[in-house]
């Protein structure tokens, strides 16, 4: 039967280069370990943007230290809890998230959420590329007094995106190794920064700050959680090499733990820094403030390690984006598909650094829209995963009418309807710098819960609609185990 081109490209992850594409991983090759998820999700959050977002909770949301602490705990537990739960589908089906999504939306229907998620990744990769470039520029300024200019911006962006492409192109093994060592290094220097802040912060000013409103606190949780929500469709990409017998609870725990151990201290550090430097939250450059607040012997190595972390974040995103591009019918290998996103992030990154007037404004607006776009998929896919006990390996990569996931005309209309309605509802409650939905002033909108409403509407609507029956597969499917969470 005709399959995706990715299947013919190779099927191995041994050695430095992973050549396996969308095709499900056979049980014999599932040699991954659950504990490897911990450094993976640590690496996915090593970004100085968390400092800026923590500062924003103080300056823009008007929260006090204890409210920021509550936000910093709740946001990763909520968002990466969802990442961990959805990632269980990866060990059950052995395929990337957007390939498994074909079983839910149909071979043609999956093109719609797939295209939206792919485009959303452009923005995420652009934001990280820009932050990485700013980190390079800041280090050059601190060490050599080199000031930023247009040519240097282009060179640093190109360098960052090229390194990102190389790591993500190599595949899962390269990501695992880099994640492991970046976790150790970043952890060590973060402790050093924390010690410095404890010794040099006016704690009376920190603790004397009055509490903000509950609405701003809830909205803050949504803002911080949006970063984790964006990783949900990628969760199965990093668990498909796990054996079917891997503990689901351990998978969720490792995911939440890895993310939380970075998000919590980074957001708190940003909040503490903002008490003495409120301009931090609104700076055009989200990185250079580190050189102003910390001594050079701490700031330079810390920025270099954070730079490696941001490179890993982009590498992980591009790794998943390569799979997403393949599900859209782009007939190239995963590594070649990654290059498309690399070029796009380079172009958009240049525009954001040279043309845009407000980095943090663009970033928060992007996060808000990103959360809504991903949440519509999460609601539908999550309900389907709770119902489903197996995935048909042959049907996932068979994009013709013979596929068990062809449904009616290639569409699972119930899933498509729930997804589209929920996406529209989410936008009605959403407000960003340049767009405001008609329900943005409602309680849900004011509390920044448009993304949560999107998940609920998508899940409930999909649950009550009758399921589209699957066709008999032309080839036997692997039997998945029953999973309890």
Determine contact, residues 105/407, Cβ cutoff 8 Å.
no
Q: For the segment 57-92, what is each residue's pLDDT rounded down to a tens digit? A: 998 899 999 999 999 999 999 999 999 999 999 999
Distance CA 1, CA 473 (A): 11
Tokens for 291? Answer: 């050189």
The residue to which tokens 């500062």 are assigned: 55
Look at residue 397 and tell me whether its pLDDT is greater than 70.
Answer: yes
**How would residue 481 be classed by pLDDT, with cut points 50, 70 and 90?**
very low
**How would residue 482 be classed by pLDDT, with cut points 50, 70 and 90?**
very low
Angle formed by the axes of helices 296-327 and 172-200, nearest 10°: 150
Q: For the segment 319-329, what is each residue's pLDDT rounded down to a tens digit? A: 888 788 888 87
**How would residue 125 be classed by pLDDT, with cut points 50, 70 and 90?**
confident
Distance CA 136, CA 155 (A): 10
Structure confidence at residue 335 (pLDDT) = 64
Determine contact, residues 227/370, Cβ cutoff 8 Å.
no
Mean pLDDT over 218-230 rounds to 93
| φ and ψ of 25, to 5 deg | -80, 125
The two beta strands, 431-432 and 435-436, are: antiparallel
Q: Which letter, b or e, does each residue of 135-146 get, where b requires 16 or more Cβ atoms within 10 Å of its Cβ?
A: bbbbbeebeeee
For residue 3, the cross-strand partners are 398
pTM of the model: 0.87
Angle formed by the axes of helices 150-170 and 111-144, nearest 10°: 130
Residue 156 makes CB contacts below 8 A (sequence gap 6+) with 132, 133, 136, 137
Structure confidence at residue 367 (pLDDT) = 79
Structure confidence at residue 66 (pLDDT) = 96
Number of other residues whose CB lies within 10 A of the CB of residue 482: 7
Tokens for 431? Answer: 């407000």
DSSP string for residues in 133-177: HHHHHHHHHHHH-PPP-HHHHHHHHHHHHHHHHHHHHH-HHHHHH
The tally of CA atoms less than 13 A away on the side-chain side of residue 383 is: 23
Q: Which of 156, 32, 18, 140 is nearest to 94 (CA)?
A: 32
DSSP string for residues in 53-65: HHHHHHHTS---H
Look at residue 1 and tell me whether its pLDDT is greater than 50.
Answer: no
Higher-pLDDT residue of 484 and 471 is 471
**How would residue 472 be classed by pLDDT, with cut points 50, 70 and 90?**
low
- Kindly list the domain boundaries of the chain, sorted by start residue: 28-464
Q: Does 28-464 carry CATH code 3.40.190.10?
A: no
- CA-atom Rg of the chain in angstroms: 22
Mean pLDDT over 457-466 rounds to 96
The tally of CA atoms less than 13 A away on the side-chain side of residue 251 is: 29
Q: For the segment 398-433, what is each residue's pLDDT rounded down to a tens digit? A: 999 999 999 999 999 999 999 999 999 999 999 887
Distance CA 376, CA 190 (A): 35
Higher-pLDDT residue of 453 and 390 is 453
Structure confidence at residue 449 (pLDDT) = 92
Residue 377 makes CB contacts below 8 A (sequence gap 6+) with 101, 113, 116, 117, 232, 233, 419, 458
Q: What is the mean pLDDT of the chain?
A: 85
Q: Which of 185, 231, 279 is nearest to 75 (CA)?
A: 231
Mean pLDDT over 10-27 rounds to 67
For residue 411, the cross-strand partners are 408
Structure confidence at residue 27 (pLDDT) = 92
The SS3 of residue 411 is strand
Q: For the segment 158-168, what is each residue's pLDDT rounded down to a tens digit? A: 888 888 877 77
Q: For the segment 435-446, what is each residue's pLDDT rounded down to a tens digit? A: 899 999 999 999
**How would residue 334 be classed by pLDDT, with cut points 50, 70 and 90?**
low
Structure confidence at residue 166 (pLDDT) = 78
Q: For the segment 240-293, what is each residue's pLDDT rounded down to a tens digit? A: 999 999 999 999 999 999 999 999 999 999 999 888 777 766 666 777 778 778
Number of residues that this document lists for the chain: 485
Lowest mean pLDDT among 139-153, 163-177, 367-381: 163-177
The SS3 of residue 9 is coil
The 8-class DSSP code of residue 408 comes to B
Structure confidence at residue 480 (pLDDT) = 41
The 8-class DSSP code of residue 405 comes to T
Structure confidence at residue 314 (pLDDT) = 80
Distance CA 93, CA 392 (A): 8
Tokens for 415? Answer: 């899933």
The 8-class DSSP code of residue 287 comes to S
Distance CA 453, CA 8 (A): 41
Distance CA 314, CA 393 (A): 29
Residue 198 makes CB contacts below 8 A (sequence gap 6+) with none
Distance CA 63, CA 74 (A): 15
């Amino acid at each position: 039967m005709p399959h995706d081109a990715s299947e013919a490209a190779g099927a191995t992850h041994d050695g430095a280069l992973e050549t396996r594409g969308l095709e499900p991983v056979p049980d014999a090759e599932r040699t991954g370990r659950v504990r490897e998820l911990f450094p993976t999700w640590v690496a996915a959050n090593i970004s100085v943007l968390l400092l800026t977002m923590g500062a924003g909770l103080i300056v823009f949301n008007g929260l006090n230290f204890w409210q920021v602490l509550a936000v910093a705990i709740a946001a990763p537990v909520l968002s990466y809890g969802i990442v961990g739960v959805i990632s269980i589908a990866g060990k059950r089906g052995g395929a990337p998230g957007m390939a498994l999504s074909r079983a839910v939306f149909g071979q043609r229907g999956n093109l719609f959420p797939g295209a939206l998620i792919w485009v959303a990744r452009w923005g995420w990769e652009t934001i990280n590329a820009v932050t990485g470039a700013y980190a390079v520029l800041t280090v050059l300024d601190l060490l050599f007094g080199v000031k930023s200019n247009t040519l240097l911006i282009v060179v640093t962006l190109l360098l960052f995106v090229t390194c990102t492409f190389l790591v993500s192109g190599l595949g899962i093994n390269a990501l695992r190794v880099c994640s492991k060592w970046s976790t150790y290094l970043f952890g060590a220097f973060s402790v050093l920064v924390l010690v410095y802040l404890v010794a040099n912060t006016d704690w009376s000013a920190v603790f004397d700050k009055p509490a903000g409103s509950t609405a701003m606190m809830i909205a803050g949780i949504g803002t911080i959680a949006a970063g984790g929500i964006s990783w949900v469709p990628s969760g199965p990409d990093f668990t498909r090499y796990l054996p079917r017998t891997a503990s689901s609870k351990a998978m969720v725990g490792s995911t939440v733990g890895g993310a939380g151990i970075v998000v919590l201290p980074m957001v708190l550090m940003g909040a503490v820094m903002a008490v003495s430097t409120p301009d931090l939250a609104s700076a055009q450059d989200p990185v250079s403030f580190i050189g102003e607040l910390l001594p050079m012997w701490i700031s330079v190595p810390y920025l270099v390690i954070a730079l490696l972390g941001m490179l890993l974040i982009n590498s992980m995103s591009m790794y998943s984006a390569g799979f997403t591009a393949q599900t859209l019918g782009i007939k190239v290998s995963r590594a070649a598909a990654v290059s498309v996103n690399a070029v796009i992030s380079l172009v958009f990154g240049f525009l954001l650094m040279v043309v845009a007037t407000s980095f943090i404004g663009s970033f928060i607006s992007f996060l808000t829209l990103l959360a809504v776009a991903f949440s519509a998929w999460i609601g539908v896919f999550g309900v389907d995963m709770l119902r489903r006990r197996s995935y048909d390996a042959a049907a996932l990569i068979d994009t013709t009418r013979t596929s068990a996931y062809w449904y009616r005309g290639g569409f699972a209309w119930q899933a498509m309807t729930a997804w589209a309605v929920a996406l529209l509802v989410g936008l009605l409650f959403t407000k960003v710098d340049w767009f405001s939905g008609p329900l943005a002033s409602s309680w849900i909108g004011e509390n920044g819960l448009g993304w949560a409403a999107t998940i609920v509407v998508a899940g409930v609507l999909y649950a009550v609609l009758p399921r589209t029956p699957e066709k008999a597969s032309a080839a036997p499917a692997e039997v998945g185990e029953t999973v309890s969470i």
